Each structure stands twice: as structure tokens, then as C-alpha cells.
Structure 1
Amino acid sequence: MTTSIERDEIEAGIVDHAPRFDDEKRDQLAEDARDAVHATPAGVADQFTGSVSLDKTPEDGGAVVEYLDEEPVDEDERAAWGLRPIIPESLTDPGVWRQRRAVLANRAAFHTVRSPVYLWRAVSLVGIGARVGVRDAWSYLFATEFGEIADKVRRVKADPHHIADLRADRRKEARERRREAVTVYAMTGFTTYTAALLALGQTWGMILAAPALIPVFGVLYFLGRREMIRRSPDLPFAVLDNAAEMATDGPVTDERITRALRDIKLMSAEQEIKPSGLATRDELGNTTVEFKTPAGLVCKAIKNKAEQFAGALGLPVERLDIEQGETPNDVILWVAATVPFSGEAPISPLVTAKQWDIWNGVPFGGNRKGVRKVLQVLWSSLLFGGAQGYGKTSAMRLPAAAGALDPHCRMLLADFKGGADWEELEEIAHRVIIGADPASVEEFIELIDELIEEMDDRFAKIRRMPKAQRPDMRLTPEMAETHDMPVLMLLIDEIQEAFGVVLARKDGLKEFAALVEKLARLIRRGRACGLIIIAAAQRPSARSVPTDFRDVILKRYSVHTVDDTSSDMILGDGQAKRGHTAAGLGQIGVGILAEESGSEKIMTDWISPQHFTDICARGRALRIAAGTLTGYAASGLLSVVGILAEIRAAFDRAGVDELGSADIARLLHDQDPAADWGQREGESDRAWSSRVGARLGREIEEALDGSGRTLDRVKVTTLAGTEGRGFRREDLNLVLGA
């Protein structure tokens, strides 16, 4: 029973465990309860420990356990309560520092390239400053403003006495200015500085004396800059350019985003974005910038103009990902370091894996942000589709390889294409169906019936298990091992070919509907008991691959298609309208993965045909070692008894890969002295070697009679280190099919 309590009190649940406890257990529980609550007020525990209480005098002797719906508090979190971070996150986040270094490096490179421009601007400013300085000094020392007044008076034809008075005043003012203390000090300082500079030049040379000119250039630069600002007071002036505004490459910064939004008319010249937090850069060089847009501009508007926005940033749209934050004005911009999927596909980790556990999922590929994608295929089947030649079969190899490397995964193959794509898988598959002829399709229908029967048997086994062993009626690794219920992986390539054969029959529509219903039933229910179906079709239309079959497959992957309609046939209706379409992808190994949680573009890992051959060979060896090679694949194994078993034991005992005939005879004699493999009394070495060699050949030929296989003696290195005739372990394993 669960109760809801107002005033923010904690919700409590009461569970009656009386039928499960005996008297001894109830006494122990009572003691534990008292120990848990004895230090709390009124015998009620606080919200972190919960409370356990027993009815002391129940009529039926039952016990009641009371618990609180409160998650345990992490000890690290508890220890951190009340503490304030001392060091700001901006100083400890490695992603922030990577972005800072990138911005600084870009600005340094930008300014270094433009340094000749900056030098010319500085020299020009110094020249302007020198001219302005001389002009202003001359004007002050000679009171030129009086001359300007005299010119104005002359133009209005004033009395000559006025002009004469003005000239007299000018001479008087000029003499007073030249006698001022400031003027005298300035002239004295300038003369002294010039004399010192000449003396340094005579003593050390003008090159070494050049740093003494820095103050002069500094003053002249200041005068020139002031003159430029005076000429254009409304225009900003700077010798150095703004790297963020002028650069069309390099790190994306707040300034660059603001300029781009202004360029595409989403913001006015007065508006700008406000950063939300700090820009970060991951190990791959991808940048994430969070910002808040001005009022009137929402994230959706930027998404709608994603191409124009990318162009304004000087980037291809494939490098951008725009997401909305908490509010419509919060934008999360992700920028890729390079164009996603522009490099070669990574080699699958399954290529080098010695063994794999299908319960850990299938390493599938990476998305545009470089995040690795692992598919959990046990609880949802897979449908592959798309045009030929764009990597559909290569992508399908990934789950097949994962199943092949798990010796406890039973592989079932139905290849209706009939080519050589899955030839290697025949070495480990329990059932193999090749081709789309009527007999193969009939065998496929029988296989589906067998799988349905197996599914029903497994569910019956699971229902008979104690509830503690089947918490959610799903197969677990422990159940699979204990009750002999291995994971079943059924690969169906070009399933539309099988459907086409069924439809061509006399009662084709009826049989077709029945087959589709059986497959849908397997997919819906079989996933809970360890059945995985991996199907592929080029263009699964409503007729060739009906929706009743497609709709129950929760994971789908499509490579390039010719149009949105074909893409939706694989990925699901409406995916193209939501922006997830495989139409026009045009890149081998790149497709759209649609899952229950959403859809995204994926570049799948690469497994070449040669890699797949090696993987299947390892899978066969793993199954032989684990004793799980069954069905079709096991039909090629010879029964390892008699002389073949004895020779294998001899190799294992010697621990080498090559043995001479005499070496094998000695080892066989040690294993069974009564078998007459040893050297007889008085028998020469030559005669003994000839006898045991002939006997080995005869018994091996008898053991292999009717199998179509031979095990011939070849030149080997004996245990004594000499060359001789004998056998190799590799040849023995090949003959045995192992």
C-alpha cells in the first residue's frame, strides 16, 4: 500500500512480510529494528536511515516492515554539504583551457600574418604625429592664431591700425610663450636628449642607440593617433585588427557568432549575444558554445537559417549542430573540428577482439560528434536497408561478427541473395539456408516454425523458474548458461526475395500473410527469450516487406536511398519530415540509424571481407573449445577417436607444432606401452622407423576412409632438431575440421 501525504512529508510504503518470516526471523528483525532506531526521537528514524518497526503483540504473530521511499545519500555528497568551491570552474575545466589555447593560438597566428600591415600603420601614425607635432609646436611658439585673426580683419577691410595692433600683439605673445618655463624646459630636454642620442650613436653605433628612440616614437604615435581620432571621431580607430571579426576560420567565439547573426539579418548592429557559461573544446577539437540570444530571436529561427548561419561563419553546415537550451532564447552551438565523416571509417574493435560477449552489445560506429555507438541488440531486432554498393552488407557484418565471436551465441543464416557475402559464416552457423529457390524458402518457413516452438519452450522454462531467478521474465546470462538457452541470432539477407517466392505460389497471399505474422510474432516476443533477428532489404516497400513486419523492428539502419519515400520505408514513416533521411547521402559507410530514443547519422565501423573471414575462423575455434559448435557447422567435424585422437594427444603432450613419425611413435608408446609402438628387441633404428611410419600411414588412411580427406607426411623438424618426415598440427586440425 502506498499513501500520499501533504505538506512535503515523505511518501511511505508498507509491505507485509509475515508469511515469509518464522519466529526466529521475527525476533532477529525486532532486534535489528531496535538497534536502528534506539537513538532517534520516539523510536522513529530520520529520513536517511528509514524506520523499521514491529507490532509487539500481533494476534497472528505477523511482522510489518515499514520503509521510506528515499534514495540513500551518497557519502561524498554528504561530505560536500556546506562547502563552497574555492577554485572557479573556469580554472579547472580542461575543455575551457583547450578553447582558450586555441583562441590565443589563432589570434597569435592572425596578428603574425598581418604584422606587416600593422607596421605600416604604426609608421604612418608616427609620420602623422611628427607632422602634427611640428605644426602644433610652430603654432604655439609663434602664435599663429593671431595671424589667422589678422587675415580675417584684412578681408573685411578694417582700419590698418587694427592690423598693426594685431601683429604687435602676436609678436608680444610669441616672445612671452618662448620665455615660459615650460617652453624652456621642453627645449632644454629636447636638446639634451638629442645630444645624448648623438653621443650614444658616436660611441656604440646608431644601431645600438636605436632603442633610445622608442620614447620619441611613442610620443609621435600618440600624437598621430589623437589626430586620426580628431579627424573621424565617430569611427573607431585601432592599429591592430579584431581577429574574431575578421577571421573566417579558427575557433568560433562569441564575437564571431554575433557578427554572423548580424550578417544574416537575425540581429541588428546594436544587438549582441550573451555567453552562457564558458566555451569548451573536447579532445577531438570540437567546440561547444552556449549563449543567450536577444529578445525577439529564438533558437528555432537560427535553426531555420542554419545554412545561411554556417555560411556567415565561413563553415559548411555539416560542421554545425544547433540545439535549444532550457528556454527558446538559450542556444547550444556545437562546431566540429573537421567535416564529420570526412575521414576513413575506423576499424571495428571486433577485428582484434579474441572473444566477445553479445550481452555487452555491438560496437557499431560513431556519430557526427565522434561519440561511439554501441547497439544493444538483445532486446530489439535490426533492419538494414538502402541501395546497393553503399555499405549495407558491411554494416550488417558488425552484429554478425559480434555474434560470431561469442561462442555461446547460436548463429542461424538465411541468405536469399545466394552470393558469397556470408560464406565464412557457414563455418559457425547452426543452420544455413542459401538461395531463393522454392526449397530454400520452404526450409526457411520450417526454421521459423522451429524458432516459434523454441520460443514457447523457453518461456515455459522461464515460467517454471522461481521468481527470484526471473525478475522480469527476460532471459539473463545466468539463465542462458544454467538452462541451456543460448542466444539465437538469425541473419536474413534480402528477405524480400523470400517473400517474393511465397507470393508467387497458388495461395501466395494467404501463405505470405501467415509468414509475416509468424515473423512479427518472433520479433515481438522472441527478444525476451534471447532471439535476435537481423534482416536486410534493398527497398522494403509495403508489398515486398510489409509494414506489419517492419513496424515491430525497433532499430533500423539505412544507407543511401534515392528519395525520402525509400528512406521512410526503411527508417519509418515521418522520419524524413523530422529531418532524418538517407536520401542523397551518397557516402559509403554512412547511414541513418533510427532507434527508440531517436535518429542520427552514423559512420559504421569497418570490417573488410578478409577481417570477417578471420573473425569467423576465431569464432569456430572458440566454439570447438567450448563445445558449442553445433548443427550445420559441426557436420564437417570428424569424430576424434582412434589414431587421430592419439596423434592429437601426442601433439598436446609435446607442446610443439611439428612432430616426426618416430617422435609420434615414441609418444604413443609412452601413452600405451602395450600398443607395440616402441622399438622391438634387436630391431634396428631404420627398421623400426620404417615399421611405425608405415603403420601410422595405414591407420590414418583407415580412420579417414570415406571422409574425402587425407593426412600426408611432410618434411618437418623433429624433436631432435633434425629434418625428417612427419606431421604438422595445422594439417591435423584442418583434416579434423577444427
Structure 2
Amino acid sequence: MKHEEDGDEERELFARLEADMRADGSADRIEMVKTRSSGDGSADPSPDRSAGRGPIGSADPVALVDGPAPADPSLFDRLRQARRRPVVPAWARSRAGLIEAAGWLGGYAWHVTAFHAVRVPVYGGRLALRSPAGLARLAGALGRWLRDAEGAPLRRLAAEKGDAAAYIRLTGLRNNRVRLRTMLFLLASVAGAGLALALWVLAPGWLLAAAAACVAVLGWAGAPADAPVVHRAVETADAPRLTSEMVVKAMASIGISQITSEVAKGRDGIRFVSPIVREGPGWRADIDLPPGVTPADVLDRRPRLASALRRPLGCVWPEANAAEHEGRLVLWVGDRDLSKAGAVRWQLAQARRHDIFARIPFGIDPRGRGQSVPMVQHNILIGSQPGQGKTSAVRVLACGAALDPSVELWLHENKGTGDLDELEHVSHRFVSGIDDESIGYAADSLARLRQEVMRRAAAMKRLPRDLCPDKRITREIADRRSLELWPLVAVFDECQNVFAHAAHGKQAGEDAEFVIKVGRALGVTLVLATQRPDKDSLPTGVSGNVSIRFCLRVGGQVENDMILGTSAYKNGIRATIFRPEADAGNGYLVGATSAPAVVRVAYLDMNATKEIGQRARRLREAAGTLSGHALGEGAAQAGPSYDLLADVLSVVPAREERVWNERIAARLAELRPEVYGGWEAASVTAALKPFGVRARDVAGTTDDGTRTTRRGIVREHLLKAIAEREGNQGDG
């Protein structure tokens, strides 16, 4: 009896286990459990806790692992947690957005109108040439209508079947129809001829207009299908609509085993959390990936995904949505390759001025949305391989800072190509060169910045609490010039040449790290750009403490993480995905937005930069904020007591065809200490540049006999500048 009770208990337990397994979809494990149970009611003593229970047939109490299923949230709860879409589109929520949209619409209408207006004579010629073909088509159609060609197949079918009655009836109908149509045609012809004659006598102009209209209609009718008369004024992207079926097939083909195995079982492998929607110039799909799969795994296979979707690589941009969870993927597929979007117009290119405390427009993301960068209370690091758009990014930020007349600019372009020369006349400190003198000047700037940060810290400490409650530079504090706490932006392009320098590098790195850590809240912003991100060329204390990073194409994981931060590559933020040349100007922007974003940086050529520099100069002259290098750094003022060119010529004897500027500065200081005292090599460079005498690399020997290259001038150029000046004075 006891044995039968145990058997009944076992069967009941097995029935419960089987029901739970079927509810979980584990039918294959049911068979495994069945094979373990013997016919006499005994069970395999090995435990099977796959369903959260003890060994089958054991006398131990059943251990429940999963609690009771919670009740589904109510409709009210789901609605409270739902994400609301904006009622008004983003572009219509601001005056600037409305103006931009209206400007685009007006520009589009003007372009279409002008495009077709210019081609009106061409369209007229095409219509005239194609009108004979149109007349032939019209005559053919009229002939088929007159002879009732549409009824011929029915009459032919009746004749083939030998149905005489049907054939006779159809033929009679055809004859009646032909007589009626012929009569109508003759009446219309007579009426048309009479109308044409009346117009010829009474209104010949109308007759010509009617004839032109007829020619136009005939020409339109005679146009081949593959050669339309009117061409499109704009070419729109002919991209297919993104569908869930396309996404499922594409995700199943990129080699992620968890997705592939689910698809093999007849499932999708992924879950769409919302409908695929149109977002900007493309489509957006929000996807939950299988457990254990991250967006980084998809990003690794981005070329495969683009191939599966049959879209260019620059159209497919998968990204994480960590605001939800680590398995949420946002797949955005654009209509057009981002690399073919052309140069991005900078929003401040025509602006009269800008506030440095507002974000500076920087570029656009793949969805066409503007991306901007804050500068106050931040430091910025930009890195890439050569030729990928790093200097363009530096120029955009420098120009944005220049358009605020309260900003003190320190520009150091240690490549020597003159990329920032158009902003020299608004800079407090400026250098352009790769020689030892220029590197030393940049290193000296970092040392001075360190001292400036310390001065500002002491000045900030003395400010009253009501003026500076957060101990940070504000617009109000910056506008009080007496406090000398205005924003200071220092740019170091090709900073690796400074940090890797044998004589100046170590101290420059320490100074930069100090400024980055302390100066952020004191209004001092460093913008560092490098094409060689390694521990020797970019100290880890510098790269590890900047708050905003922009990385264009780099070659590998180490370089990627040096610019974008530790573990960036592991987390799927990979600037290695960008293609050489094709993706120049595209990079990952980290720290400026809530999530890392791919950005195509705006482009400013030298002419546009020159215009911005001139605007910035006028702003500073009006505000009285020009200082330092922009005022000549102690350069001699015009007057009768001395002549700069003559003085330089007097200290450069004929035997010296080329001479270093530092030696010219020393000799000028001996010649006129009251005028040239304190001049440096950079002072000579700035003072001679307006006369057309530009500094260049000059080889020479130091006092200890070492051969080296430093910045200097050519005596022949000095003589030429003097001759041109005297010639102009003579002409006057």
C-alpha cells in the first residue's frame, strides 16, 4: 500500500514537472526525464534541478526556485512608463530651427525655379524636334480609332470559330461605329480649319500661341521614355524602405551564433521594441539583442551588416542605447553615404559674434542633426592619422572662440604649415613652426599657463560668494575686465612635437597636466591635437584627464583608447571603422553629448577663416580686448625716431644672407633698447610679417658650434620689402 502511495506521489510530481516544462518550451528535456523514470515507479537517483525542483522520486520536500509569476502591469502603469514622442518636431521648436527650415525651403524653391528657367530654350528645342514623332504617334492612334482596331480581335475570334451570326453582328457594329467616327472627325476638321482661319484674320497672335501649344503637346507625346524633355533639378536618394524582414535576415547573416541558432529554429533571433520609423534622412530600428550579445558585437560586423542590407558602409550606423540596457541596439540606416554628404557648412560662418559660454557648433551626425561642443569648463583632445580632418576640427573650435571678443586666444601651430595664420592678428600669443624655437615658445606658453592658473585660483578665492557661489568662471565674471578672469583658450596643434621634445617635453607634459586638472573651473581651456597618440607623445596624465575627445580615423585599438579613453574600443566606440580618405572628417565625439556620437566635422577653408578672423579683429578693437601678440608684443610704434626695416637692415650685414630672428632681436635690443628691449624671435617674426618678410627655417651654428635649424629671414627679402616701400612712396 505504501508502495502504491509512493507511485501515485511520483506520478503526480512527474505530471507537474511535465506541465512546467511544456510551459517553458523544454519539450526535449521531458523525454530525458521520462527515460530516467523506471517502470516500477523507481527513479534515477541523480538529481535533475532543471525545473527548480529536487531529485525525481525523492522524499525530500520540493524546493521552488522561481517565485509566483508577478501580475502584468496595468494599462495605466504602462502608459506612465511609456516614452512620449514630441508633439512638435525638433526643428519647429525654436526660432533658429524655423528660420533654418524656411531658408532651406526658399533655397530649394529658388534652385528648382532657376534650374528650369535657364533651360527653357533647351526644352523648347527638344519639343520642336520631337513634335514630328508625336504627330506620327497621334496619327497612328487616330487611324486605329477610326477603323475600330480595338474590335478586330473579337471579329477574328468569331471567324476562326466559324460563328457566322456573331461575325455578321460584330461586323455591322464595326461599320456603324466607323461611319460615326468618320463623320465626327470630318466635322472636327472643318471646325478646326474654320477656327484657324478666323484667328489668322482676327487674332494672328492667338493662332501662333495655339500652334506653339500644339507643337509642345506633340513634342511631349513624341518624347522617348528614357529621354524625358524636362530633367530633374535635384536628385533624391532612391533608397528602399527598411523593413523588419530585411533587418532579421541581415542580423542572421553577420555571424553571431546566438542570433543564427534562433533563426534556425524558426524564430527571429532579435526583438523589435518599437516600430521601424523614419528619423532624419534614414530609418531607425530599436532592437533588443539576444542575452549575452552586445551592440559592440554588431559593430564588429558592420561591413557584413551593410552588405546584408545592400547599403553602402557609410549608410549603416549601429549604436548602443545604454540608457535602456546593455543589450539594446539602435540601428540607423541612412539614405545616403555620410562620406558623400559633402562639406558641412559651419553654422557660425556668417555669424557676427558668438558667446563662448554657449556651445560651439561642431558638425553633424549621420542623421543630419547638428552637434555642438562646450568649451568653458572643459578641455578637448583631438586625434587621428594624418590627413583625416584633424586640423579642420581645430580650426572650427578656434574660430568659435575667436568670435567672442572676451576670449584670450593662445594659438600654437607646431606643424609649420600656417593652418591658423588667419587668426594670428587676434591672438595674445601665437607661433607657427616646427623648429626648436617654435617648440620652445609653445612649451613656454604651457609654463605661463600654469602660472596663470595659479594667479586665477588666488583671484577666484578673493571673489565674494554672491558673485561666484560655485567658484567657477561665469559670463558675469568674464565681463568684469578689472578682475582679469576672462576665458582663455589655448590651442596646441600637433602637440606631440612639444611633448616628445628632448629638451622641453617632460616639463611641458607636467605643465599641461596641471592646467587640465586645475584650470578647467578657472576659465582656462586647452585644445590639444595630435596625429601620434602614444605614451611618449601624449602623456597619460594629459590624455586621461581631458573631458571631451574627438577621434577621427586611427590605426588600432591602442591609439583608439589613447584618444577616446580606456576601454572605449571594448565598448564599441571604435574610430578604426572609418575608411581612409573616404571618411575624412568623420570621427567619434565623446564627452560633449550624453552618449558617444559619430560626427562629420564642419569645414572652413582659408578664405572663410580669414573672414572670421577679420570679424573677430573688429570685435576686439571695438571692445578694447586686443592684447599681446595681436598688438605686436612691444613692437616699435610708428614715429620719426626710427624705421623698423632700416634698423633690421642695419643689424644684418651683407655677409649674412640668412640670419636667425633671435639674433636680430638681440641686436635690435642693443641698437635701441628703449624701443626693442624685451623683444624675442617671435616679436621679430610678427613685426616683419606685415611688410611681406616672412620667417622660414634657416640653418646655422650656435655659439657652441652645434649645427641646427631655427626661424629666421632672408636678407634679400628684406631688401625687396624696402625697395617696394620706397617705390610706393615715390608713386604717391
Q: TM-score, normalised by structure 2?
A: 0.50
Q: Whose Rg is larger? A: 1
Q: TM-score, normalised by structure 1?
A: 0.50
